[in-house]
Amino acid sequence: MNRKSARVQAIESPFVKALRCLRCGKEYAPGAIEYVCPCRSNRGSDLGTLDVVYDYTAVAQAINPETMRLDADTSIGRFWPLLPIADRKRLPPLPVGGTPLLSAPRLRQETGFSNLWIKDDGRNPSASFKDRASAIAVARAQMESRPIVATASTGNAAAALAALAAAAGQRTVIFVPKSAPPAKVAQLLVYGSIVLAVNGSYDDAFDLCTEACLAFGWYNRSTGYNPYMTEGKKTVSYEIALQLAERTETKAPMKAPDAVFVSVGDGCIIGGVHKGFKDLLTLGWIERMPRIYGVQSTRSPALYNAWRSGAEIPEPVHATTRADSISVDAPRDPIKALNAVRQTGGAFVLVEDEAILQAILPLARLGAVFAEPAGAAAYAGLLQACHNGLVHKDETIVVINTGSGLKDVRAAMEVAGAAYEIEPSLIAVQKVLKEGALSA
């Protein structure tokens, strides 16, 4: 065995067989290629996206639904044979995943969806779904002894990386658009990241991060460019299937819902949701695939437009949505995102920004889930899909909240209203009550 082969064997998962290009179909041995296939065209969004291929026979010999359910480790570490890491000890010492699947009975009663579930990934360490991917990014960067991990982000992916890197003692450089919400930038600075606020869009930050990583030898965590980020994000599907089986009347160890709703920007999260359920179906641990619905704002509809037109690669748009986490001009993971919808019989759903912001309130007041605009978009998409006749109210439906409302307090205050300012007297309290505050 030569030195390179020994190094690859030491850092790669024994369960990963290859990386396959979703554009041209070429397969690469583990460690033979890093980010994207060179078959990419000259268009920036038209990447030779790679997919990680596993030896499912070996995986099934290593774990099964029962061992995962009984594992004392409720983080994504319990799924490690289905992750691109040598073993679970490689993950940062900050538990990620294991977020609750909530039945939200008051939300069910209000909407009439009798089997509605909310997967609240705002409960992750940095309050974002994207901790799942960042855990993998930090693990792989450290396995490769990279001095810096960098990413481009509108905020959540960056905060996730900063938190996981801080736990592991890994240095980070973050590229964000200058318009990123202050709460998200604050997280980056507190965790110790070097933050570069780019005077431009998310897409400008993405391109600059890619150039810097190539120039300085940094590890690139950016969504849609690094193929391993999908592998972290897919763990949400494993958890949903385990939790649904535990919470419903079924003898099966895992259960897929009828439909899953998730907000979409670059497309990596929805691609991960799809990959996770595909893994489970291939292993025979679920009986069918759920329909997957991607939700986009009318002010950032690139993937919706491609889906409607039948295009393989979306045309860039000028994104201006208030839901900053899904505000993307040119989606960087379009192939996986479009496959997630097309291959499962789902759809892309378009919603207005006003509907997204208004969805924050019922999620919080009836479901006790405080979602940022991008997280609330998934619920707004469910309501729109019901109006369009795409789902039925007796189906088992999971809505994924991808981030805490604390990420964008300004948006929450805009829809919730302001506090009553009063003098320190009981008379002042009574005056507010007479104005109908309790009945509002």
Query: Using 50, 70 and 90 to split pLDDT, how confident is the model at 6?
Result: very low
- 192 secondary structure, DSSP code: T
- Calpha distance 33→44 (Å, rounded): 19
- Calpha distance 295→326 (Å, rounded): 9
> Bridge-partner residues for 292, per DSSP?
260
**Tokens 């579930």 belong to which residue?**
117
User: Which residue type occupies 110?
Assistant: E
- Calpha distance 208→328 (Å, rounded): 15
The arithmetic mean of pLDDT across residues 96-115, rounded, is 97
Alpha helices in 88-227 (DSSP H): 105-111, 131-143, 156-168, 182-191, 202-216
pTM summary value: 0.94
Residue 3 pLDDT > 50, yes or no?
Answer: no
Q: Which CATH class is domain 101-127+230-416?
A: alpha beta
Each residue's pLDDT tens digit, 65-103? 999 999 999 999 999 999 999 999 999 999 999 999 999
pLDDT at 46: 59
Each residue's pLDDT tens digit, 316-366? 999 999 998 999 999 989 999 999 999 999 999 999 999 999 999 999 999
Residue 212 pLDDT > 70, yes or no?
Answer: yes
Structure tokens at 209: 């991060």
Each residue's pLDDT tens digit, 130-174? 999 999 999 999 999 999 999 998 778 889 999 999 999 999 999
Residue 276 pLDDT > 90, yes or no?
Answer: yes
Each residue's pLDDT tens digit, 41-59? 444 445 789 999 999 999 9
> Bridge-partner residues for 21, per DSSP?
50
Distances (CA, A) of 87 to 76, 90, 121: 12, 6, 24
The sign of the CA dihedral 406, 411, 416, 422 is: positive
Is residue 313 within 8 Å of residue 46, measured between CB atoms?
Answer: yes
- 18 secondary structure, DSSP code: E
- Calpha distance 126→407 (Å, rounded): 10
